[in-house]
Amino acid sequence: MATLLVSSRTIHIIEDAETLQKVKGSVVKDERICLRRNFGLPDWATRTFLKSDGLGRRAVALSLLSLTPFMKIVFHVVRRLPWTLKNSVVVKAWRLWVAVHRLLPASVARRGISDTLSVEAHAMHNVLWWSRLFPAPVWVMRFGLSQLSMSYPPTAHTEWIDSLDTPGLRSAYLHLSPSSETKPRVLFWAFGGAFLSGDVEGNRGIAEHYGRMLVCDVFLVDMRLCPENTVQDAVLDLYRGYAWLLQKVPAENIVMLGISSGGGACLRMLQLAGSDDSTREAYFGERHTLPPALPQPAGAILIGPYVEYTKLTESMLENNALDWIVSPSVLELYTPTMQSALCGGVDKLELCSPLHQTMKGLCPLCITVSEHECLIDEDRQLATKAKDAGVDVVLSTKPFQCHVYQLLSLFLPEAAQEEARICDWVRARGGAWA
């Protein structure tokens, strides 16, 4: 049976599997679209560096191991540099990098997965692709996500809130609304990081950026990380943060924004907020005081939400060859053993997965995801299941982008466009958000 592959310029009718693998040098089976992966290099040249048991990959891993002490020193220094300084260096370097890409021939500079990408997206691909050559230990992931505020240095007045229930957690409330507002609108922010990484400080800048566009305060809730803790602990921290915020403002003044694993945790919290006591008790267990039922907010933005923990979907297994963020290096961490550990055991995987729970009674959802990232399959399933349950759902997709590309609006025009769509969706909530 012939396979139809459509690229930006050509339609290919492929009669056999061998020819299919030769079209444009390297083909990924992805919704019948012929895509360029690995800079268009043949598989034999990259396989040894990308397969977990490849000789080239082992050599790179050994080299990285020898550099670990030096890298930790560099990370320690970078963490302590002012955000404005880091932003200045990154922005100037980025502008120079894009300028070089505009000058080079397209055959050299435009090596992303599709010719239709912006020059900036090709330039980003040509930087981020190389991370897949290196192992991604948790300490490296945590450093990387702690530096997100390089894009938008935080400047807002920040009220730090220490958790009374969980020692060591420190949430941040960003005061951005006019002082005359006694009941301000608040964007409730849940950071991402595959439950293994992410933090409040690293998200303060981008969260403030969204808050300024929406003219609202922002509450960034701190969450415990795995594998030191479990997914249930992270969801409980969000739950307590939401309960605290409801003492300050009514639910209709709150819109939630969850990123990747933070999106999944946010959705699971909303499901539990509208459930009965026995359901919440089964989830949180006897080690915690049972939190009360809570009202739904005005809406929730889920950016590439991670919602399926019982298995790795087809897009997770295939699109990691395309995704700049959830690359094979990141996926190496997500073995069945790791997934079970995150949820406290194999028997808890379905209980923790938002995709396997009821969607009835949820607030309006805006699900935004790339069509070629690893989480597209589960996010489409989520949108369908929520719509079938009567939830007001918008599923916004864009092709050829990486996981959570929406946070790269300073660099990518595609991300800036999606960011504008997200803000328009929030304003359409009406009421306090109009």
Say whether both 111 and 257 belong to one domain: no
Note the pLDDT of residue 52: 81
Say whether both 103 and 217 belong to one domain: no
Asked if residue 413 is part of any domain, the answer here is yes
Sign of CA dihedral 61, 64, 65, 66: positive
b/e 340-376 (16+ beta carbons within 10 angstroms → b): eebbbeeebbebbbbbebebeebbbbbbbbbbbbbbb
Q: Per residue in 217-267, pLDDT tens?
A: 999 999 999 999 999 999 999 999 999 999 999 999 999 999 999 999 999
Say whether both 159 and 290 belong to one domain: yes
Average pLDDT, stretch 296-321?
Answer: 93
Q: Per residue in 388-410, pLDDT tens?
A: 999 999 999 999 999 999 999 99
Given its phi and psi angles, is residue 58 left (phi above 0), alpha (psi -120 to 50 degrees) or beta?
alpha
Say whether both 226 and 338 belong to one domain: yes
Say whether both 244 and 368 belong to one domain: yes
Average pLDDT, stretch 334-341?
Answer: 77
Asked if residue 40 is part of any domain, the answer here is no
Asked if residue 315 is part of any domain, the answer here is yes
Write down the H helix ranges in 285-318.
314-318
DSSP classification of residue 364: P
Mean pLDDT of the chain: 88
Say whether both 115 and 174 belong to one domain: no
Note the pLDDT of residue 179: 76
Asked if pLDDT for residue 147 goes beyond 90, the answer is yes
* Domain stop point among 109, 133, 157: 133
Say whether both 27 and 59 belong to one domain: no
Q: Residue 354 has which token pair? A: 């938002």
Q: Residue 211 has which token pair? A: 């808050």
What is the CA 142 to chain-centroid distance, rounded?
Answer: 14
**Which residues have CB under 8 Å from 157's CB, separation 6+?**
174, 175
Q: Which amino acid is at 74?
A: V
Asked if residue 7 is part of any domain, the answer here is yes
**Which residues have CB under 8 Å from 379's CB, separation 6+?**
302, 304, 305, 307, 367, 369, 395
Q: How confident is the model at residue 178 (pLDDT cuts 50, 70, 90)?
A: confident
Say whether both 303 and 420 belong to one domain: yes
Cα dist from 75 to 141, 143, 155, 200, whole Å: 11, 7, 23, 18
Asked if residue 139 is part of any domain, the answer here is no
| Cα(318)–Cα(214) distance, integer angstroms | 36
Q: How confident is the model at residue 61 (pLDDT cuts 50, 70, 90)?
A: confident
Asked if residue 41 is part of any domain, the answer here is no
Note the pLDDT of residue 81: 95
Asked if pLDDT for residue 5 goes beyond 80, the answer is no
Say whether both 92 and 189 belong to one domain: no
| Cα(43)–Cα(228) distance, integer angstroms | 38
Nearest residue to 417 (alpha-carbon basis) of 32, 120, 42 = 120
Note the pLDDT of residue 235: 95
* Domain stop point among 133, 154, 175: 133
State what percent of residues in the chain have pLDDT above 70: 91
Cβ atoms of residues 257 and 326 within 8 Å: no
| Residue 5 or residue 344, greater confidence | 344
How many domains are contained in the chain? 3
Of 15-24, 51-60, 97-106, 214-223, the range with the lowest mean pLDDT is 15-24
Note the pLDDT of residue 155: 92
Note the pLDDT of residue 303: 97
State what percent of residues in the chain have pLDDT above 90: 67
Asked if residue 356 is part of any domain, the answer here is yes
Note the pLDDT of residue 25: 39
Nearest residue to 37 (alpha-carbon basis) of 108, 105, 106, 111 = 111
DSSP classification of residue 259: E
CA angle, corner 279, sides to 274 and 283, nearest 5? 110
Say whether both 91 and 173 belong to one domain: no
Note the pLDDT of residue 13: 37
Note the pLDDT of residue 337: 72
Q: How confident is the model at residue 331 (pLDDT cuts 50, 70, 90)?
A: confident
Find the CATH number of the domain harbouring 378.
3.40.50.1820
Note the pLDDT of residue 33: 52
Q: How confident is the model at residue 16 (pLDDT cuts 50, 70, 90)?
A: very low
CA angle, corner 374, sides to 126 and 197, nearest 5? 80
> Which residue range is the domain that position 15 belongs to?
3-34
Cβ atoms of residues 396 and 423 within 8 Å: no
Cβ atoms of residues 175 and 204 within 8 Å: no
Asked if pLDDT for residue 340 goes beyond 50, the answer is yes
Q: 255 — phi, psi (to 5°)? A: -120, 135
Q: How confident is the model at residue 288 (pLDDT cuts 50, 70, 90)?
A: low
| Cα(109)–Cα(372) distance, integer angstroms | 21
Say whether both 375 and 263 belong to one domain: yes
Asked if residue 39 is part of any domain, the answer here is no
Say whether both 225 and 326 belong to one domain: yes
Q: What is the pTM of this model?
A: 0.89
